[in-house]
Amino acid sequence: VIPVETGASSFRTEIPLEGEDNHETLREELDLLEELRDGAALREATLKQKIAKRHDKKVIKREFDVGTLVLRRNQKDSHEGKLAANWEGPYRVRAKTENDAYYLEDLHSKELPRPWNAEKLKQYYS
């Protein structure tokens, strides 16, 4: 294996400059460095936008009306193991908050104590 320092030559090592020529070349390289950084930042921003667009295309927006029956994702205990139910319910949507969280109640009108995020709920078809 050849070390990178000896295998790859650069402009400065091929044609060593002296005095004012060296300083001028270094200043030009510094100017080019700014352009390289700007180009890299632009490519990074473009890539982030593409990734966000691809992610947003696959996200499924879930909205439920008041009175809709839903299933709630089960909070599994460690002693139940992998055969525990993934979903529990059905529950009825009692109210919706402004940030897409839902207050639920069971079918006997007993209210659950806290709101649930829409990604933890799915529609129940009876």
- Tell me the per-residue pLDDT of 53-85, one tens digit each, with 9 for 90 and over: 999 998 888 899 999 999 999 887 778 778 888
What pLDDT digit, counting tens, does each position of 75-112 carry?
877 787 788 889 998 999 999 998 889 999 999 999 99
Q: What is the pTM of this model?
A: 0.56
> Nearest CA to 70 among 123, 126, 125?
123
Gap between the Cα atoms of 76 and 85, Å rounded = 8
- Cα–Cα–Cα angle for 87, 72, 117, nearest 5°? 140
Give me the percent of the chain exceeding a pLDDT of 90: 52
